[in-house]
Amino acid sequence: MTLRYLYQTPNVEEYLELRTAVGWRSLPAEVVEAGMKSCLFSVCVYEGENIVGCGRVIGDGAIYVYIQDVIVRPDYQGQGIGRQIMVHIMDFIYTRLPDEIFVGLMAAKDVADFYKKFGFMERPPDRPGMFAVIEKDTNTA
């Protein structure tokens, strides 16, 4: 298996394909297109012409950045691809961003230990992380 790691943002079809492969909900193509335009850094992994994984960095690039969408197709998981994606992401963070910057991420269930290997820690109970997924009802006036 020959894999290529390219510093590029996945196109809409590739991104939606990866989301589907790992069981994440689908998003409208126009929303994905807008989101992909705002990446600070992206790495895509290909075998031949087929995308098998990706990872992105989003944020303001000065004070706060977030690691987003570290995705590896299930049939390629367990082969170190996710680790290599993170190596490329962390290299970008250490070499291209300010010396002191907040780097956040939200991890899927049961993968905290994976990110701890890269220096991330879980938030303490007295400083809980929070989030909201906003889904507006488009049927109302």
pLDDT at residue number 114: 96
Per-residue pLDDT tens over the stretch 20-57: 999 999 999 999 999 999 999 999 999 999 999 999 99
CA 45/CA 82 separation, integer angstroms: 10
Going through 3-137 in order, the beta strands assigned E by DSSP cover 3-6, 41-47, 50-59, 64-72, 102-105
pTM over 0.85: yes
Phi-psi region of 20 (alpha: psi -120 to 50; beta: other; left: phi over 0): alpha
Residue 63 burial by CB count (10 A; 0-12/13-18/19+): exposed, middle or buried? exposed
**Structural domains of the chain, ranges and CATH numbers in brackets:** 3-116 (3.40.630.30)
